[in-house]
Amino acid sequence: MAARNDALITPQILVWARERIRMSIEIAANAAAVTVDRYCTWEEGEALPTVNQAKAFAKKAHIPYAWLFLPTPPEKCKLPHNTDYRTFANQPVDRDLMQVQTLIVDAAMRREAMIELYTEMDMILPEFVQYIDENSEDDSSSIAQTIRNLLGLTLDKQASFRNRNEAFNYYLDAFSAIGILVFQTGKISPLLMRGMSIYEQVFPVIVVNRKDEYNARIFSLFHEFVHILTRTPGICDALGINRDSRFAIETKCNGIAAEALVPGNDLLANTSWIHIRKNGWDDTYVRKIANDFVVSREVIIGRLWKLDKITLEFYQRKLRQYSAEYEQSQKMKSTKDGFLPPSMDISSQVGKLYARTVLNAYNQEVISPRDASQFLSGLRMQHFDKVERWCFS
């Protein structure tokens, strides 16, 4: 017989919630502050957690507490298959890493929330129909120009950016305007994950790492957008993509993203490049070029190699140098974000398109204050006004 404060959860849901984010039994038991043996009795249906223990587990598993009482897992919460991950130096990500899996779950749930809210408010769901066959005869230059056209990006626009933050915010708005959900995470090291994308016809998703530098986040946005345009997730068993073909796809996406951000003719006409060509290599001027286009030095030397202006050996040597300098700078930085007010923290995570949709639904009384808070990662009502001013600005 259940005790008075026992939670009458469904054991199968407990298993589903844990395995959904690749959470080990040890982590689940630790989250509920019980032994592994005790936790196992819950999954086996031999005992029940207390209400507080069940709530602690639900928080760790990134699910609403009420889901633990469902007879079967929510149908709408299946994990996406068309997913790509971008890491530092484009190294493969272990799909079983709990942090990455949790991020996928959160992004997928926000996308489902958007569809639900649009439907409730009788809004037309936007479909992302743009598609470029990765095996088409179109060269990378034409694909890159297509991207610039979609985003309304011109050299004059790039030159107008006063800083990297302004450029990044422009790109966030530009991607949102064509129906892409862009989220940010600050819980994972950039050395583990720099970017991720989920292709769906309605509300494709891009996630970038808030701990990364702005120019790196910008490149990740473009890299992941190429994956969405070409429907080429980095790891997808359904498409038969293996690690060898993944490397080829990542290289191609890098090249197109770089060209979209740094068109060849504009690069070769840049005054800092002209200075280098006349006076010899100077990393100071490479940094100036990178600043002009709001990208990293790695992107600039990659473009110069593709344009046959530097040798492969020189490119690889500089890439190692810049990568080592970046890794060293990351190690010297704090692993935690600086303090952000709650409204700014959540706004940064979910983006304007998502926040605007949630607050519209709340203002129209389509959802309750509690639902709005849940959609906004637990943000309290007292902060709604600040988020609203930001996302409607």
| pLDDT of 339 | 72
The pTM (predicted TM-score) of the whole model is 0.79
Structure confidence at residue 88 as a pLDDT band (50, 70, 90): very low
Integer Cα distance of 79 and 88 in angstroms: 24
Written as six digits, the tokens of 226 are 């190429």
Q: What is the mean pLDDT of residues 250-274?
A: 94
Give the tens place of pLDDT for each residue, 70-85. 999 886 665 565 555 5
Quick one: CA dihedral 348, 199, 193, 149, positive or negative? negative
- Asked if pLDDT for residue 116 goes beyond 90, the answer is yes
- CATH 1.10.260.40-classified regions of the chain: 11-77
Cβ proximity of 210 and 348 under 8 Å:
yes
Give the tens place of pLDDT for each residue, 117-139. 999 999 999 999 888 877 666 67
- Assign residue 378 a region: left if phi > 0, alpha if psi is -120 to 50, beta otherwise? left
**Amino acid present at 337:** D
| pLDDT of 83 | 57
Cβ proximity of 210 and 185 under 8 Å:
yes
| pLDDT of 241 | 33
- Asked if pLDDT for residue 219 goes beyond 60, the answer is yes
Written as six digits, the tokens of 242 are 């293996």
Distances (CA, A) of 326 to 167, 191, 282, 316: 21, 10, 18, 15
Contacts of 363 (CB under 8 A, 6+ apart): none
Integer Cα distance of 171 and 177 in angstroms: 10
| pLDDT of 317 | 96
Q: What is the mean pLDDT of residues 230-256?
A: 60
> Is CATH 3.40.630.10 the right assignment for the domain spanning 11-77?
no
Q: Tell me the three-class secondary structure of the chain, residue by residue.
A: CCCCCECCCCHHHHHHHHHHCCCCHHHHHHHCCCCHHHHHHHHCCCCCCEHHHHHHHHHHHCCCHHHHHCCCCCHHHCCCCCEEEECHHHCCCCCCCHHHHHHHHHHHHHHHHHHHHHHHCCCCCCECCCCCCCCCCCCHHHHHHHHHHHHCCCHHHHHHCCCHHHHHHHHHHHHHHCCCEEEEECCCCCCCCCEEEECCCECCEEEEECCCCHHHHHHHHHHHHHHHHHCCCCEEHHHCECHHHHHHHHHHHHHHHHHHHCCHHHHHCCHHHHHHHHHCCCHHHHHHHHHHHCCCHHHHHHHHHHCCCCCHHHHHHHHHHHHHHHHHHHHHCCCCCCCCCHHHHHHHHHHHHHHHHHHHHHHCCCCCHHHHHHHCCCCCHHHHHHHHHHHCC
